Amino acid sequence: MGQAQQTENAEEIDVKALQDMYKKFVTECPSGLLFLHEFKRFFGVDPTGEASDYAENMFRAFDSNGDNTIDFLEFVAALNLVFRGDMEHKLRWSFKVYDKDSNGYVDRDELRSIINSIYRVKKGTKTDTNEPHFTVDDAVERIMQAVDSDGDGCINMEEFIKGAQQDPWVLNMLKLDINPALWVLEQRRKSTTF
């Protein structure tokens, strides 16, 4: 009974968060479309700050039809994946964030760009763990060695998913654990404090 109640409460929290997101979405974007600059403002990202590049990559991954806008259905679909998706689905979405040019491969430059953004964002938070700290280039090299199984210098979706599932450190780096829901909750907290 306790387990069912926990699941019910988690769903209620998700529904409440979704309702809050919809209200904010409609307020911020009465046209029903979210543009990149609005996306950054929506999540409280400074357009010139450390999270800006990361937010641009997330925006591109949320924009499933590639029209440079996010409608509410795209927004909800992406957040549903982040909230409730299984690990493989989350990794598939993460791959889209890493694959900046949408060519079906993540090369060293794309990997370096996202890892650099993640490091800059995490540096500004208190999420530093006791894990050994690698430079961006060291992290890129370790990921490429672990994931690029055919040694062609690029990571395809299958290599990305398989490699992440075989190495806990690589999984932690690739799954993009900076959850947009946390930004929404933080924005809700900021708006309720005066």
- What is the predicted pLDDT for the residue at 93? 81
Q: What is the DSSP letter of 33?
A: E
Fold of 2-85+180-192: Recoverin; domain 1 (1.10.238)
Distance CA 115, CA 136 (A): 6
Contacts with 7 (C-beta within 8 Å, 6 or more apart), sequence order: none
Burial class of residue 9, CB neighbours in 10 A (0-12, 13-18, 19+): exposed
CB 111 within 8 Å of CB 153: no
Residue intervals in the chain for CATH 1.10.238.10? 2-85+180-192, 87-174
- The pair phi, psi for residue 189, each rounded to 5°, is -65, -45
Q: Give me 115's structure tokens.
A: 């890892």
Q: Tell me, what DSSP letter sits at residue 133?
A: P
Q: Number of helices (H) and strands (E), helices first, in the chain?
A: 10, 4
- The pLDDT of residue 50 is 63
pTM over 0.85: no
Give CA–CA dist 184/112, Å, rounded: 27
> pLDDT tens-digit profile of 95-104?
988 898 889 9
pLDDT at position 135 over 50 = yes
CA distance 77 to 64: 9
Kindly tell me if the per-residue pLDDT of 154 is higher than 70: yes
CB 94: neighbour CB atoms within 10 A? Answer: 23
23-27, 64-68, 99-103, 161-165, range with the lowest pLDDT? 23-27
Lowest-confidence pick of 30-34, 71-75, 83-87, 168-172: 83-87
For the record, the structure tokens of 32 come out as 């029903």
pLDDT tens per residue, range 41-59:
776 777 776 667 777 888 8
- The CATH-assigned architecture of domain 87-174 is Orthogonal Bundle (1.10)
